[in-house]
Structure 1
């Protein structure tokens, strides 16, 4: 079914516009998750190394965890523009979301590593393992079991927060939906479609995470 543009209705061609928004959302979420997770793993490990590293990294983590994502996106856009980085809205969004993801992932990683009983680490060292071998073969596998569920929760939050990237000009799915709502006034239909989209993306991730949790605990 197609509505005429004279009545500002939806048209089949709008499906292509929404599809582009879907792909933009997926690209942004994947890029920010990869960057943020890798950065968070390094930061989380550093925060367990010494008190000095914990104090040095605390401002970065505390600020990003406390400031709303919307403000972070606007500030990242302004700061990078002032510094002369003529990046696309995609990279503005990726930097802001990736930085937030690294901060919150760091705390999950830190908690996971600290949850490993000290007796396990001492036993590994007594068997002749050095610090990196103990970390690789003992602490990381055990910490992974503890950190998996919280990390999945962070990924789901990031997917939903990617909708805020529209404030820096990135046309992700929610932004494309808002554009069509302004033009067609089909508010209920488009918002229900947006809600369904995020459900279809997030629910399988949540279900699969439960499968992984059961698998790693066997």
Structure 2
């Protein structure tokens, strides 16, 4: 009698390590994208704040494109058209570029809102004390405006971290892609997705709680 050949196997300890490695890749691509997006977003927000109508007619529509077009479409288009202009990027760096720009388009409006939260009389008072424009921006506008929109920025950051799962369409093996690979092999979708969801929760919850503690400290 011939032995039975099984193409599937149950979940193993090594699979948990595989998911942990994929979770680390999710953290890595998210951290880089959020950092780049935050820096660019603050710059774009400042341009929108100071540029007024000129910025609203030029930079504003461009940022609206990245906010409006589904992220998965942006990822696929950039990854396939980047080599045409000489950018031979792997899935990781392609994901960082698009996630970073997408994050920047969201942070730009958040940053502009924070700057607008600082009243003009307060800024005039700072200038009357001898502060330069850049000193006023550094010591008055950014600290006060940053506190006002900090919760919104945290929401954007957590959203970008979850949206990083879409980079899997490019072949980058992050947490969701690794889960799909294990589901195909183990045929245990509920168990694998539950574990993946637990990993996402373990990544997101400490950030949200730490952000809440910072807010509480600021308001106390």
- Asked whether 1:107 is paired with 2:109, we answer yes
The answer to whether the Cα contact below 8 Å between 2:8 and 2:187 also exists between their aligned partners in 1 is no
Q: Write the distance in 1 (CA, Å) between the matches of 2:6 and 2:106.
A: 45
Paired position in structure 2 for 1:140: 142
Q: How much does 1:5 deviate?
A: 6.3
Q: After superposition, what is the alpha-carbon deviation per residue over 1:159-205, rounded to whole angstroms, capped at 9, x for unaligned?
A: 11011110011100110000110111111100000111111111111
Q: Write the distance in 1 (CA, Å) between the matches of 2:157 and 2:108.
A: 13
Q: Which TM-score applies when normalising by structure 2?
A: 0.93
Alignment of 1:42-61 (within 5 A): 42-51=43-52, 52-61=54-63
Name structure 2 gaps, 5 residues minimum: none
Q: 97-106 vs 51-60, which deviates more?
A: 51-60
Once superposed, what is the RMSD of the aligned Cα atoms?
A: 1.5
Name structure 1 gaps, 5 residues minimum: none
- Asked whether 1:155 is paired with 2:169, we answer no
The number of equivalent residue pairs is 215
Paired position in structure 1 for 2:37: 36
SS of aligned partner of 1:13: helix
Q: Which TM-score applies when normalising by structure 1?
A: 0.94
Q: How much does 1:133 deviate?
A: 1.2
Paired position in structure 1 for 2:207: 205
Paired position in structure 1 for 2:181: 179
Q: Write the distance in 2 (CA, Å) between the matches of 1:81 and 1:7.
A: 38
Paired position in structure 2 for 1:96: 98
Q: Write the distance in 2 (CA, Å) between the matches of 1:129 and 1:217.
A: 26
The answer to whether the Cα contact below 8 Å between 2:8 and 2:185 also exists between their aligned partners in 1 is no
Q: CA, structure 1 residues 217+79, in 2 after alignment: closer, same or farther (shift >3 Å)?
A: farther
Paired position in structure 1 for 2:25: 24
